Structure 1
Amino acid sequence: MSVTKKDVEYIAKLARLRFNDDELENFTHELNEILNYVEKLNELNTDNVEPLSHPIENVNVFREDILKPSIDREEALKNAPSSTEEFFKVPKVINK
């Protein structure tokens, strides 16, 4: 399968692009080179090759989710400049 100059003009029209004659010739040549490469890849024997979901085998690098005791609420609030029994108090930052 090869691409003609008319095919490139049609593709350019669909993409709403304008090319001069030199650019059309260049794109025709480049698209044909790409198609030739794909044809060469189609010649490869892939009968015994298993499909991949990803080209690189990744290993889970995340740690296990282990429940640990947290800092006590009183301990967390003791150094706060202003707090209630349960929360930090902060100045209002949004005005109407």
Structure 2
Amino acid sequence: MADYEITGIRQGGMDGRTHHIEAVKVGESLFLVDQIIDWTKDEVHRFWIWFQEERIDIVALQHGSSRRFYLTVDGGGFPPAALLSLPRV
């Protein structure tokens, strides 16, 4: 399993979900968030971000009502929306 830093995000929003991330930047490549979720859930790769000068792991969780998976930070007292602080691509 390899570790990769997420360095940017592309937000969706056409469906009214203001915090919807549709793709993330890893290195020089842009990946659909569903691909990152699959790799995370299947433990193929691990992803992380820098936030407030700390490395924070990214996890895939399932939303309670919609049952759809989404990416968020792995605890540590950081806000769940820390991914939204990344540059837009």
TM over 0.5: same fold? no
TM superposition score category, shorter chain reference: under 0.3
Q: Report the TM-score when normalising by structure 2.
A: 0.24
Relative to its length, the structure with more strand (as a share) is 2
Relative to its length, the structure with more helix (as a share) is 1
Query: Per chain length, whose mean CA-contact separation is higher, i.e. which structure has more relative contact order (CA < 8 Å, sep 6+)?
Result: 2
Q: Report the TM-score when normalising by structure 1.
A: 0.23
